[in-house]
Amino acid sequence: MLSHLRTMWLVFLHLFHKRETIQYPEEKIQLHPRWRGRIVLTKDPDGGERCVGCYLCAAACPVDCIALQATEDEDGRRYPEFFRINFSRCIFCGYCEEACPTYAIQLIPDFEMAEYKRQDLVFEKEDLLIDSQGKYPGYNFYKVAGLDAGVKEKGKGDNEEEPVDIKSLLP
Amino acid sequence: MTVMQHIWIVLGVLFVLLNIAAGLIWVERRLLAMWQDRLGPNRAGPLGIFIVLADTLKLFFKEDWIPPFADKWVFILAPAIVVGSVLMSFVIIPFAPGIVVADLNIGLLFFLAMSSLGVYSIVLGGWASNNKYALLGALRGASQMIAYEVFMGLSVMGVVMLSRSFNLIDIVAAQENVWFVVTQPVGFVIFFIAGIAETHRLPFDIPEAESELIAGFHAEYSGMKFGMFFIGEYMGITLISAMTVTMFFGGWLGPAFLPPVLWFFLKTFFFIGLFILLRASLPRPRYDQLIEYGWKILLPLVLVNLLVTGAIALWLKS
């Protein structure tokens, strides 16, 4: 009986405690930089698309919500012809970000993506591509890759040695 | 008192009661939220008071479904009984000197009779639903009501002994010097516990027990028929609070700086708040524990209380 009265008193005291409620549209929750929300495609420092169309994100996706088609421009630089994410299926697991070898696909702290029609949740490439480098500023895949894709010549990249001249006998 | 005056009192009491019952939707949700460190409904209107309107409209627009397997007429009748019997009980409550619908000389017995009728709504509703959970809820409701009805009646007999009247106006008048909660503390505690069981509110909501029986006796009810059970429950809370105030806390009596009606409502709202606090803090006992508690502890206690009160009353008289 006494413990019941004590319970009631303690519950009553909660009247003077701080409220846990966040009044959402007016007051917003603090989202951390690594919070996994809406998926974006980032660009490298020169404004080129980072995505090289390797399909690793689509392969890693557990719900198969990513669809893309890779293609090449005249310099041999690969990019996706289309890139489509169905956000009505996406579970925001972040596996695509982990799989991406070029830091192109990234999850950003934004969850406010409600739509009136389901079809509007299918984001095309122009919806996904943002004019930013995301979490990895300064990274440019084609500057560190061995390939000449119009960004730098072969052997001129960062930490890259000149190609071996196989016609010469000198060591 | 002229006939017209009487009609005005009846209409006024009805109006105030129905509004309080509806307003309790908001009061309960806000208070529960406050005790759970939340804010509760605060969007519609000032402090969210229009949640009452929204809730009522929602109930009106819900499909009013009668299951094909139900006993149709009894099914329809059951929710009416709960509201009817509670409203009838309010007839004998004196809100202030002169504001009482019926000045019965057996007022207290009338209240006990009417609150016993309320069990019919549970039993009939549960039976007519033709659903095993509803029937289980009805069974529990019936046994709980019978168990707690007994000493609800007995617990107020001490008050009757001291005031020598079943008339509630006389009972209030007898508390001019000292409230009966001082002379009858055991009676008050037991009456309040029985009252919680009577209105089948948490922690004694055994007939509903949503975690065990879905919604118990009103599992099959929807729309405004469910709304009637809902309103009936809130009016039951108000009734038990008003009766507690009338019998143990001096009814309308209070210092003269506030009018008597206001004193009555303030005290009543205190007990309504206590009902909600009980809901916020205590877990539901097991069904057999509840019945055991009733028959084995509270009943002997109330009989002893009655015996002692009678003895002291006789001793004081001689």
- For A67-98, how does the pLDDT look when each residue is reduced to its tens digit (9 = 90+)? 999 999 888 888 999 999 999 999 999 999 99
Per the CB < 8 A criterion, the answer to whether B168 and B93 are in contact is yes
| Cα(B102)–Cα(B1) distance, integer angstroms | 12
Stretch A122-130: mean pLDDT: 90
State the residue for tokens 């009858």. Answer: B184
Query: Which is nearest to A136 in space by CA: A106, A96, A94?
Result: A106
Do the chains contact at A8 and B277, CB–CB below 8 Å?
A: yes
Q: Report the amino acid identity of residue B117.
A: L
* pLDDT score recorded for residue A40: 92
Does the structure show a pLDDT above 80 at A150?
no
The reply to whether A1 touches chain B by the CB within 8 Å rule is no
Q: Please state, in angstroms and as integers, the Cα–Cα distance from residue B208 to each residue in B193, B219, B275, B288, following that order.
A: 18, 8, 17, 15
Taking residue A124's Cβ as centre, other Cβ atoms within 10 Å add up to 11
Q: Report the amino acid identity of residue B190.
A: I
Domains of chain A: 24-136 (3.30.70.3270)
How big is the A-B interface in CB pairs under 8 Å? Answer: 31
Q: What is the CA radius of gyration of chain A?
A: 25
| Cα(A120)–Cα(A104) distance, integer angstroms | 23
Q: What is the CA radius of gyration of chain B?
A: 20
Per the CB < 8 A criterion, the answer to whether B163 and B216 are in contact is no
Confidence of residue B75 (pLDDT cuts 50, 70, 90): confident
Residue B274's Cβ-count burial label (10 Å; 0-12, 13-18, 19+) is: middle
Q: What is the ipTM of this complex?
A: 0.75
Packing angle, helices A2-13 and B260-281, rounded to 10: 100
* pLDDT score recorded for residue B1: 67
Q: Please state, in angstroms and as integers, the Cα–Cα distance from residue B144 to each residue in A113, A144, B200, B306, B314, following that order.
A: 51, 79, 9, 22, 34
The reply to whether B277 touches chain A by the CB within 8 Å rule is yes
Do the chains contact at B37 and A14, CB–CB below 8 Å?
A: yes
Do the chains contact at B38 and A17, CB–CB below 8 Å?
A: no
Per the CB < 8 A criterion, the answer to whether B92 and B110 are in contact is yes
| Cα(B126)–Cα(B134) distance, integer angstroms | 5
Does the structure show a pLDDT above 80 at B256?
no
- Residues from chain B that touch A7, judged by Cβ atoms under 8 A, are 281-282
Do the chains contact at A18 and B282, CB–CB below 8 Å?
A: no
| Cα(B102)–Cα(B94) distance, integer angstroms | 9
Stretch B108-119: mean pLDDT: 86
Residue A18's Cβ-count burial label (10 Å; 0-12, 13-18, 19+) is: exposed
Do the chains contact at B38 and A15, CB–CB below 8 Å?
A: no
Q: Which of B35, B42, B297 to mutate to test the interface with A (most CBs of A within 10 A)?
A: B35
Query: Which is nearest to B226 in space by CA: B239, B237, B215?
Result: B215
Render pLDDT for B269-303 as a digit per residue (tens, 0 to 9): 999 999 899 888 888 888 888 888 888 888 888 89
Cα first-last separation, chain B: 40
Do the chains contact at A11 and B281, CB–CB below 8 Å?
A: yes
Render pLDDT for B26-69 as a digit per residue (tens, 0 to 9): 888 898 998 888 888 888 878 888 888 888 888 888 888 888 88
Render pLDDT for B122-150 as a digit per residue (tens, 0 to 9): 888 888 888 888 888 888 888 888 888 88
Q: What is the pTM of this model?
A: 0.77
Does the structure show a pLDDT above 90 at A116?
yes
* pLDDT score recorded for residue B197: 85
Nearest to B39 among A8, A15, A21 (CB): A21
Stretch B196-211: mean pLDDT: 80
